[in-house]
Amino acid sequence: MLTALNQAFRTPDLRRKLLFTLGIIVVYRAGTHIPIPGVDYRAVQQCVSQASGSQGLFGLVNLFSGGALLQITIFALGILPYITASIILQLLTVVVPRLEALKKEGQAGTAKITQYTRYLAIALAVLQGTGLVATARSGALFSGCTAASQIVPDRAILTTVTMVLCITAGTALVMWFGELITDRGIGNGMSILMFISVAATAPSALWAIKKQGTLAGGWIAFGTVILVALAMVGLVVFVEQAQRRIPVQYAKRMVGRRAYGGTSTYIPVKVNQAGVVPVIFASSLLYVPSLVAQFSSGESGWKTWITQNLTKGDHPIYITAYFLLTVFFAFFYVAISFNPEEVADNMKRYGGFVPGIRAGRPTAEYLSYVLNRITWPGSLYLGVIALVPTVALVAFGASQNFPFGGTSILIIVGVGLETVKQIESQLQQRNYEGFLR
């Protein structure tokens, strides 16, 4: 491993890309500690030290921002607006014919969709930034903190507009950082920044678990969580690398005097085709009832039921709903992201067929059958990954520190594997030794 890293830094091209990526990461992490104007920094630090964390969507945004949300810094929203915009555009591509036509235009259409994604991300940043400022002013960002109402002492409109503009500008800067890494660095820039944000909160959260433990000074709880995390990482690596390879044979065809085709290949269908998106969807949807109950006035039966059952991560109803929603969104996302009919038509157009299956509609039905069967273990795996860390950490009284432990593990392992593959492929262009021997 160390020899491979040494080889990577000895290659001039690769060394420049790695150093550029590391430089962008340092600037990004520095920005997560710069507070926006109009915020009382001492009051924020007091509330952060008093509060054990934030549940629901606040915890999700804080996870993707690397802890910058609760610090109310210029990168408070992190990369989440861009992720949300990308998911929305991907969903709309199936519904809106214009976007579907752009997707089929190749590189030019993809560039146009990326431009729409940026515009939508900025609009979402304005909306979410306004909500964050309003939540901070009302004191709801830190429940139970005595200084929560003093976080934004100046209630003037100009101050509010300035704060929202700073948060929006920070989101635009983060998007630019991600695109710079993609163009001039290593790996997908947005994924790298998301990986750094999630990984940055892990050491402090693990140490908080150690300090909260009572057995042997907290080292038993700390060691147990480390062992559980390693086991979950091993499971994630095993499943994320697993795929069903559907064989495809291309018939020979004559073009002039030359023969084309006659090759054999395969369609890789991953067990976890949906990635981390179903977990994010399930978490966000479960937060909606508690958000409505939080801002509703008065006491009623439905509000009490939501508060008792859907706001606690260790409640059986919450766990069951979380698991079922994750499974449902796994099937939903796979259904809109993989179109068997389109794949079958493309194969038929270029003379490809699955051995033993007729081209056209029978191929589409076969692909749909395989996809549905392989999505079942993938969706159940996502549900287990999303719940096991939460349940395990609740047992140690530290669920606030890792409110989305399953999401964290999926992001860290997935992005880490893809980045290592890219470094390995670039090393193999220069010699036959990969990044990992």
Q: What is the pLDDT of residues 160-196, one digit of tens each?
A: 899 999 999 999 999 999 999 988 888 888 888 888 8
Q: What does the radius of gyration of the chain's CA atoms come to, in whole angstroms?
A: 24
Q: How many CB atoms lie within 10 A of CB 312?
A: 16
Please give the structure tokens belonging to residue 44.
């924020």
Tallying the residues shown for the chain, one arrives at 437
Give me the pLDDT at residue 71, please.
81
Higher pLDDT, 108 or 27: 27
Give me the pLDDT at residue 27, please.
92
Most confident of 118-122, 144-148, 185-189, 403-407: 118-122
Give me the pLDDT at residue 376, please.
92
Strand partners, 250: 352
Phi, psi (5° rounding) for residue 162?
-60, -45
> Using CA of residue 285, residue 286, residue 289, residue 290, what is the dihedral sign?
negative
Give me the pLDDT at residue 180, please.
93
Please give the C-alpha separations between residue 169 and each of 1, 83, 163, 172, in angstroms, as whole numbers.
39, 16, 10, 5
Higher pLDDT, 280 or 401: 280
Q: Categorise residue 398: left if φ over 0, alpha if ψ from -120 to 50, beta otherwise.
A: alpha
Range scoring the smallest mean pLDDT among 45-59, 277-291, 366-380, 416-430: 45-59
Give me the pLDDT at residue 4, please.
61
Give me the pLDDT at residue 216, please.
54
Give me the pLDDT at residue 214, please.
54
Q: Is residue 167 within 8 Å of 36, Cβ to Cβ?
A: yes
Q: In angstroms, how far is the first alpha carbon of the chain from the final one?
A: 8
Reported as a pLDDT band with limits 50, 70 and 90, residue 47 is: confident
Residue 353 has pLDDT above 90, yes or no: no
Range scoring the smallest mean pLDDT among 150-159, 200-209, 339-348: 200-209
Residue 399 has pLDDT above 50, yes or no: no
Residue 336 has pLDDT above 70, yes or no: yes
Residue 141 has pLDDT above 80, yes or no: no
Reported as a pLDDT band with limits 50, 70 and 90, residue 53 is: very low
Range scoring the smallest mean pLDDT among 13-22, 213-222, 249-258: 213-222
Q: Where do you find CATH 1.10.3370.10 in the chain?
A: 1-200+431-437, 212-403
Please give the C-alpha separations between residue 80 and each of 122, 171, 296, 306, in angstroms, as whole numbers.
11, 9, 26, 26
**Regarding the domain delimited by 212-403, which CATH topology (the fold level of the hierarchy) does it fall under?**
Preprotein translocase SecY subunit (1.10.3370)
Phi, psi (5° rounding) for residue 242?
-75, 140
CA distance 86 to 249: 34
Residue owning tokens 């709903």:
321
Give me the pLDDT at residue 51, please.
58
The CATH superfamily of 1-200+431-437 is: SecY subunit domain (1.10.3370.10)
Which of 131, 118, 130 shows the shortest CA–CA distance to 84?
118
Average pLDDT in the chain: 79
Reported as a pLDDT band with limits 50, 70 and 90, residue 54 is: very low
Q: Is residue 416 within 8 Å of 203, Cβ to Cβ?
A: no
Reported as a pLDDT band with limits 50, 70 and 90, residue 32 is: confident
Range scoring the smallest mean pLDDT among 140-144, 197-201, 338-342, 383-387: 140-144
Average pLDDT over residues 199-210: 75
Range scoring the smallest mean pLDDT among 92-96, 240-244, 308-312, 344-348: 308-312
Question: Which residues, other chains included, contact 136 with Cβ-Cβ below 8 Å and sequence gap of 6+?
Answer: 39, 72, 151, 152
CA distance 88 to 121: 10
Strand partners, 254: 259
DSSP-derived 3-state class of residue 306:
helix
Please give the structure tokens belonging to residue 94.
């199936």
Angle at which helix 277-295 crosses helix 316-337, to 10 degrees, equals 130
Please give the structure tokens belonging to residue 400.
């606030």
Give me the pLDDT at residue 222, please.
75
Q: Which regions of 256-405 does DSSP assign to beta strands (E)?
A: 258-260, 264-270, 352-353
Residues of the chain above pLDDT 90, percent: 12
Please give the structure tokens belonging to residue 77.
């929203």
Higher pLDDT, 425 or 298: 425
Angle at which helix 405-428 crosses helix 219-241, to 10 degrees, equals 50
Q: What angle do CA 402, 277, 184 make, to 5 degrees?
A: 90
Higher pLDDT, 349 or 143: 349
